[in-house]
Structure 1
Amino acid sequence: MGDMSANLTQLETAARAAAVALHGYRVDVDVRDAADPGVLTFPVVSEIELTGSEDTWVDFIGASVESVTVDGEPREVAYDGARIALTGLPGRRCVVRVQATALYSRTGEGLHRFVDPVDGETYLYTQYEPADARRVFPNLEQPDLRAPFTFSLTGPQRWWLGSNQPEASREVIADGVVRVEFEATRPLSTYITCLCAGPYRRAVDTWEGMELGLLCRRSLATYLDADELFRLTREGMAWFTTNFGPYPWGTKYDQIFVPEYNLGAMENPGLVTFTEAYLFRSPATPAQLQARANTLVHEMSHMWFGDLVTCRWWGDLWLKESFAEFMGSHVSVEANGFGDGWVNFATGRKVGAYQADSMPTTHPVVAQIDDLEAAKTNFDRITYSKGSAALTQLVHYVGLDTFLAGARRYFAAHAFGSATLQEFVAALDAETDRDLSGWIGAWLETSGHDTLRPLISTDPDGVIDRLAVERISHDGASRPHATTVGSYSLRDGRLELVARQTLVIDGDTTEVDVLVGEPRPDLVLVNDLDHTFASVALDEPGRAVLLGHIGDLEPLGRAVAWTALWTELRAGKLTAAQFVGAVLDAGETKSGLLSAVLGWALTAVTRYTPDSEVDVLGDRWRDGARRALLTAEAGSAAQLLWAKAYLKAAAFAAEDVSWLLAEGAVPGLQTSVDLTWLAWETLATQGAATDDELDAVLATDDTAAGRVARLRCWAAQPDPEVKEKAWRRAHEVGGETNDHVDALLAGFNALGQASLRAPFAGRYFESLNETWHVHPIEIAMRLVRGGFPDDHEAGASWLAANPSAPRTLRRLVLEGVYESQIAAKAKGAATRRPGLPNLGD
């Protein structure tokens, strides 16, 4: 990973794009021996048709390169493990043929190989973004060098063999072995090509003459709710083709759920890959179903924005992802009928963006991406969620119809090519009279976000003589905010909306005249419909009212209010005890909101509470969660979420949870496989589960997910020897798959075991540089983030002592330091506010 020849830069790829004209690829991949665990490699032949006269290179990260020819003429193989030198090109159209040997992957990068423990079957899939196609076949790996691809795949005859395009021909080449050639693609970037192979189950439907496919492993076929997924697909296709134009990628649209996946999904045209986490083995909440729909239409929107028109370089990565993130929420609401789409966005993805945008490592939405390592870490909440929030502002600024018309103009102008932000803005400019130059600069080319705060003054009788919104810019930017201001008053013990004003905040203060001359409301909530991206400040009276009445607000207002309270907790303006009390008292029932605030409350207890108070607050949170579980509506999503919250709380504030494993222990609560594993993880964390007991649970669920859960339980045990073994296994080079590394780190970091982890802090920092250089980046990032000890001083010391460490590694450590400082600040603020409020019996 530390090899500079593997870390492509923008400057050198721009030079290659100027020197080489790319015409097409023919790629042959042979995976006939993939089911043999002793076979670690596979042969590949890549024929690249191009025109060029300058010396250049072909990208390939594999085991070996056997031969290179140009128009059949052998060339010397000059290969450094990442690049194949290409010299003496004839200056005319020619074919470069590379015969090589590639490596199967266990990290979710390149061609990932998975063996299903249920039936021993082998499954393969590819994942490339931003630059891992070179782990499968030799190519020119950069997004702006697009070309048609003709793939052929050799594998077992009984397997499903798939790619971006439909099968064109099939030839039996040996007993039980076939070679399938696929139809040629339209011009594609390397990173959105795709190959999948294995005994996948495939369900089929049609839409407007197009074949729709859904695929998953055989052992998961019972969880493939094809009717619902096809519904979402048909509705999404209808919306996008109506608003964007005809589907540009041919006659089939496969969506395949794959194991040990690093992402939520990937927008390969005609063969979209999804994580198997979207095949629910246990009852799914409405928020989980909406999140899946969101992802499905997010990837579908990429068929136009990102695939039909691709970013020229990864600095414009945000453009396709922000666009798709916006479309995921919008279309899941407008076409798929998930009314809570924007509510879930507000307390899910958007809160992560606020936190990322508050860190010292924040960056503009339009980021400077010099190389691939920087691109890899910029698949973050700034790129996705802040960018999406900015696009939401842009939609409010120019209007939805204008925005969609600009998108259609952009697609038409740059179809099957690459483009930049400037070209997208030019397409919008042609459809609107608004001046976008100032908006682009303020929203996309600056980092950080504003705080919006109500300013209220009254006369001696409590009548408002001035109501305004103050915009506090923390970075000097002048961002306009098209938003709303809601005013709420207590009536008969409930908080009700009195008035709402829509306005554009474009100065340091903006007047709100709707309630001038009226009695002062109990709460003024800026941005109460969540139209903009800004921190919302609360005044003291409003904060006090919210803590006891947040449940009275409408869902979108609650999302904004919960986010404001969470932000104030992290800023030290609110104690963990106050926040936990609000969560217990609110009676929240919206599954997206409830899932978010339950997670925040657990963090408040375990990380933001002073040591002297943590036992008391931990017990109260656990007891409150148990009460909420037992009083929730039978069979509701809230009941399930409170059950999970109780189990996690009991892992920290130890209590025997075995009673919950009995069928019918809580009327209406299904003791599902996932809930069962969570209960056993709690028992394991307490040291109350033996290996024999955990093995017995595994025997009832000996699946890939079951084995991952069993590994988490093992690593969660409060045993120094187990922690040592878990640490070693997670850090062994080439030792564990991506999912197993996650499980080991999750168990290692089990709640309430800080003293057991303390001895590893020194080892973590001593080995950081080695960890970064010896592991693939996917594993290295997990180890750096998941192993960071809660010690901001040690982290700061390491940063000071390692100024020349790789930028991406320093960024991850700096983020760990920041979060540790946030925890320390929150604890300190609570310590300065003595007394723990009564959270109820």
Structure 2
Amino acid sequence: MGVRSLTQAEAQERAALLRVERYDVAVDFTGLPDGPDVRCVSTSTFSCTEPGAGTFVDCAATVVCATLNGTDLPPAVEGRIALHDLAAHNTLRVQTVQSDTTHGPGVHKAVDPFDGEVYVWTSFEPDEARFVWACFDQPDLKAPHAFTVTAPAGWTVTSNAGTARVEACDGARRWVFPDTPPLSPYNTVVNAGPFHEVRQEVDGHDLGLYVRRSLAGVLERDAQEILTLTAQGLAFYARAFAMPFPQRRYDQVFVPEFGGAMENYGCVTWSDTFLRRSDPTPAERELLAKVLLHEMAHMWFGNIVTMRWWDDLWLNEAFAEFACHWAATRATAYTDAWAGHLAGGKLKAYLADQGPASHPIRQPVHDVAEAAAVFDDITYPKGASVLQQLMTYVGEETFSAGMSDYFARHAWGNTTLQDLVDALGRASGRDLDAWRAGWLDAAGPDRLTLRHESGGVVLHAVGPSGSAPRPHVLAVGAYRRTATGLERAARVTVEVRGPRTPVDLPAGADLYLVNDDDLTFATVRPDPASRDALLRHAADLPGALSRGVAVATVWDMLVTGEATAAEAARAIGAVLETETCDAAVEPYLTLAGDIAELWAPQDERAELTAAFAATCRRLADRARHPARRRVALRFLARAAAGGELERLRAEAEAGDDHDLRWRALARAVELGEAAVADAARLLAADPDPDAWVQELCVRAGAPDAGTKEAVWHVLADERAVPVSWVGRVATAFWRPGQDAVLRPFTRRYLDLVPGLDRGGMIPAMVYTGRLLPRFAIDGGFLDQVLEAAEAAPPVVRKTLTEHTDVTRRMLRSRGITKPDAT
């Protein structure tokens, strides 16, 4: 029997009935070094507004025993324990054991392959606390949590509420944590293991960093940078929200086999893949900074103030994604963060918003299973861009004042979107209802086009499917050619309130750029007379954001079939030759490499790949900083061949960049070189405890059926690859030019679809999207995928709908239309 998903109606009924006073949760990790079991006793104290009524508590772990007010309860059914005849005040005690700690949701045991040490982490969004202990697992039943954790004597335990009292206990140690503030169950955490710890006192906060012992050196290398960013973020948000983070201690725990990062109050959990084994590239450093600031923003927006239900999940995530870029540009060295956002996440959002999986930013969520399907590129980068437009619309100081009012009014409570709109409306004096309806209740992007008419320059705006456009505040730039490139002659701020907006721009400019400085979310098109000029001269624009808007336009023209792969490759390649913004270089290299590999027709792939390799080599040769050269060489490894590949491998061998050595070796194997001995030597020399996954990537690219079968078994059947590495291995597996070897695995993917939701939300999204074939397929196969998805859980169905649309666009760009016999 399965586990039922909580519906919004059930949550509303339960929230009206109950007031949870506190949770006391005893967790026992002493069985983990030698076994799989996590044992818990959860004691919930709560009141009932209607004595005699009934409800249920969520519990998807195995129940050992359960009592309500001293009376035994029946077994759990579908992840719920029925509670009858409630008193005005109640005590619920549930003893549980969770043994599925390898692939199950909520709690995970990881064994470090380097030294055999065991680490355990929990992660509960959206409703996975119930898989570990009994609780009322919904966001608007907040309560203090008191955790008592028994763990092996050599382990360290971290949780939300700061410093624990530690006691000896039968050869183990018991960690008794103070009460947390009122938190939703999904905001809580317990992590444990023999961690290496770094601590520092900064501006009155006690900052802690943790990592597995085998990565202690990597953390020590980056610790000061991470601690500095943490202090900068805490100071910025304290000013911007007029509310300092209310807890002295702030911990960040880097753990193995974790996907992404999770904003647990006061104790953020990270995948330790964010700690790069080789020196981080500029984009990798910026990504760490933005993720750090994203999770930190949730301390206020998500933890201190929590959305009442998951229909406002978008607001929770969109705000944190917006805020991390805001904080990065205002408080850290990453002042080009918005350029990186445009070059990376925002392009994905434009694509998703024009596909069959598009949805309004805010939409009804019937149950939590549907909420899990909303963690997507519309929720995150589009939502962040819309909030950036909102700040532009009302002004930055007004926006900050409105947020301060919001947090002051609702601290430690639950809210809806309307509460936020009201706060910003009071601060700005604007009626934001029309803004909210236009931006949040309709799917799809607006289209903006500048046209030269008899009466002057006019900005034409049209909403999705020909509807009226949304309100926008944006900039239009006029550029004139000089001896050194394009120079901005004028920049006009425009407020769009209808289909036609006159723009007071000087005549005779060589290029007009709509949405200059990237202030709004809308696809842009040059007028027909300027199309070729944009493709030819995007690289000549003087600013990172202006070049980024041009690249976004070119990329959108490619994915909508209005530009060829060759045209897009030339334009983005030219931008790369002049780009000075570190935040944009790596995303543009990714786009250029993807065009050659995934979007180019087969008869053009070799030429575009060679051109991409040449661009990488020129960037490497001209690089004045080792980090920029390292970036170019890593991307060169994706495309090099012949003598250039041999030179690259020799250079990689001579240096200490193990990642480059693995990439160059993987490329050699993909091209047919037998390099088993080379891989074994490199594996022995690489100090990274996860180097075995790099070796698996090398084998994954081999054009050999037996090797593919062995890799598929580890990757897809056993799911032995850490979730944060699945994308890297899958990309190495599905290679161009290997269709004959890959074709049998397209059928194997179809067979996986019914079970792709195994392990919870994050693994479901990763395995569904990353394993989807990109080669040896055509539109007929994608039709079969969508047919199989009809019976899949929402998170799988949504992910497949989105990824098959992108893949179908790739096939169209490649000129593939004939159904494939699978």
- Alpha-carbon offset, residue 634 of structure 1: 4.5
| Structure 1 range deviating more: 478-487 or 449-458 | 449-458
Q: Deviations over 1:599-658 (max 9, x none)?
A: 1112211222222322333333334433443x22243443222212211113xx676624
Say if 1:108 and 1:262, in contact at 8 Å, map to a contact too.
no
Assess, with a 3 A threshold, how the Cα gap between structure 1 residues 705 and 752 changes in structure 2: closer, same or farther.
farther
1:490 alignment partner AA: R
Q: CA separation in 2, counterparts of 1:571 and 1:471?
A: 18
The aligned residue for residue 606 of structure 1 is 597
- Alpha-carbon offset, residue 4 of structure 1: 5.5
Q: CA separation in 2, counterparts of 1:332 and 1:825?
A: 38
The answer as to 2:489 corresponding to 1:498 is yes
The answer as to 2:334 corresponding to 1:344 is no
The aligned residue for residue 462 of structure 1 is none
The aligned residue for residue 420 of structure 1 is 416
Assess, with a 3 A threshold, how the Cα gap between structure 1 residues 754 and 506 changes in structure 2: closer, same or farther.
farther
The aligned residue for residue 218 of structure 1 is 213
Q: Of 755, 766, 780, which aligns to 1:782?
A: 766
Assess, with a 3 A threshold, how the Cα gap between structure 1 residues 149 and 654 changes in structure 2: closer, same or farther.
farther
| Structure 1 range deviating more: 354-363 or 677-686 | 677-686
- Alpha-carbon offset, residue 466 of structure 1: 1.5
The answer as to 2:173 corresponding to 1:178 is yes
Q: CA separation in 1, counterparts of 2:251 and 2:790?
A: 47
Assess, with a 3 A threshold, how the Cα gap between structure 1 residues 804 and 223 changes in structure 2: closer, same or farther.
closer
Q: CA separation in 2, counterparts of 1:829 and 1:560?
A: 30
Say if 1:350 and 1:386, in contact at 8 Å, map to a contact too.
yes
The aligned residue for residue 57 of structure 2 is 58
Q: CA separation in 2, counterparts of 1:616 and 1:828?
A: 16
Assess, with a 3 A threshold, how the Cα gap between structure 1 residues 229 and 779 changes in structure 2: closer, same or farther.
closer
The answer as to 2:225 corresponding to 1:228 is yes
The answer as to 2:237 corresponding to 1:237 is no
Q: Of 470, 474, 478, which aligns to 2:464?
A: 474
Q: Of 251, 256, 262, which aligns to 1:254?
A: 251
The aligned residue for residue 820 of structure 2 is none
- Alpha-carbon offset, residue 524 of structure 1: 0.8
- Alpha-carbon offset, residue 787 of structure 1: 3.1
Q: CA separation in 1, counterparts of 2:191 and 2:756?
A: 30
The equivalences for 1:373-392 within 5 A come to: 373-392=369-388
The equivalences for 1:20-419 within 5 A come to: 20-36=18-34, 39-52=35-48, 53-62=52-61, 64-76=62-74, 78-80=75-77, 82-89=79-86, 91-103=87-99, 105-107=101-103, 109-175=105-171, 177-224=172-219, 225-263=222-260, 265-419=261-415
The aligned residue for residue 696 of structure 1 is 681
- Alpha-carbon offset, residue 484 of structure 1: 0.5
1:503 alignment partner AA: V
1:96 alignment partner AA: L
The answer as to 2:570 corresponding to 1:581 is yes
Assess, with a 3 A threshold, how the Cα gap between structure 1 residues 746 and 800 changes in structure 2: closer, same or farther.
closer
- Alpha-carbon offset, residue 510 of structure 1: 0.8
The answer as to 2:720 corresponding to 1:725 is no
SS at match of 1:662: helix
The aligned residue for residue 810 of structure 1 is 797
Q: CA separation in 2, counterparts of 1:654 and 1:775?
A: 43
1:785 alignment partner AA: G
Q: Deviations over 1:282-328 (max 9, x none)?
A: 23233322222222222222111111110111110111211111110
Q: CA separation in 1, counterparts of 2:707 and 2:548?
A: 41
TM-score (norm 2): 0.93
Q: Of 527, 530, 536, which aligns to 1:539?
A: 527
Q: Deviations over 1:322-369 (max 9, x none)?
A: 111111011111111322111111112211111111111111111222
- Alpha-carbon offset, residue 813 of structure 1: 2.6
Assess, with a 3 A threshold, how the Cα gap between structure 1 residues 719 and 494 changes in structure 2: closer, same or farther.
same
| Structure 1 range deviating more: 314-323 or 270-279 | 270-279
Say if 2:764 and 2:795, in contact at 8 Å, map to a contact too.
no
Q: Of 810, 814, 821, which aligns to 1:823?
A: 810
1:732 alignment partner AA: D
The aligned residue for residue 674 of structure 1 is 659
SS at match of 2:464: coil
Say if 2:107 and 2:123, in contact at 8 Å, map to a contact too.
yes
Say if 2:23 and 2:146, in contact at 8 Å, map to a contact too.
yes
SS at match of 1:578: helix
Q: CA separation in 2, counterparts of 1:86 and 1:191?
A: 22
Overall identity of the aligned pairs, in %? 35
Q: CA separation in 2, counterparts of 1:314 and 1:95?
A: 28
- Alpha-carbon offset, residue 745 of structure 1: 2.6
2:532 alignment partner AA: A
Say if 2:42 and 2:133, in contact at 8 Å, map to a contact too.
yes
Q: CA separation in 1, counterparts of 2:613 and 2:414?
A: 53
Q: CA separation in 2, counterparts of 1:338 and 1:694?
A: 37
Say if 1:115 and 1:121, in contact at 8 Å, map to a contact too.
yes
Say if 1:711 and 1:743, in contact at 8 Å, map to a contact too.
no
Q: CA separation in 2, counterparts of 1:829 and 1:744?
A: 25
The equivalences for 1:621-640 within 5 A come to: 621-629=612-620, 631-640=621-630
Q: Deviations over 1:54-89 (max 9, x none)?
A: 322222222x2111112333333x223522222232
1:365 alignment partner AA: I
- Alpha-carbon offset, residue 580 of structure 1: 1.8
2:731 alignment partner AA: A
Q: CA separation in 1, counterparts of 2:766 and 2:298?
A: 27
Q: CA separation in 2, counterparts of 1:582 and 1:760?
A: 35
- Alpha-carbon offset, residue 737 of structure 1: 4.4
Q: CA separation in 2, counterparts of 1:187 and 1:446?
A: 34
Q: CA separation in 1, counterparts of 2:624 and 2:618?
A: 13
Assess, with a 3 A threshold, how the Cα gap between structure 1 residues 802 and 201 changes in structure 2: closer, same or farther.
closer
Assess, with a 3 A threshold, how the Cα gap between structure 1 residues 55 and 793 changes in structure 2: closer, same or farther.
same
Q: CA separation in 2, counterparts of 1:545 and 1:241?
A: 46
SS at match of 1:197: strand
Assess, with a 3 A threshold, how the Cα gap between structure 1 residues 664 and 674 changes in structure 2: closer, same or farther.
closer
Q: CA RMSD in A?
A: 2.4
The aligned residue for residue 716 of structure 1 is 701
- Alpha-carbon offset, residue 432 of structure 1: 2.2
Structure 1: 5+ residue runs without aligned partners?
Answer: 459-464, 831-841
The aligned residue for residue 561 of structure 1 is 550
The equivalences for 1:515-534 within 5 A come to: 515=506, 518=507, 520-534=508-522
Say if 1:301 and 1:327, in contact at 8 Å, map to a contact too.
yes
The aligned residue for residue 749 of structure 1 is 734
1:538 alignment partner AA: P
SS at match of 2:372: helix
Q: CA separation in 1, counterparts of 2:240 and 2:573?
A: 44
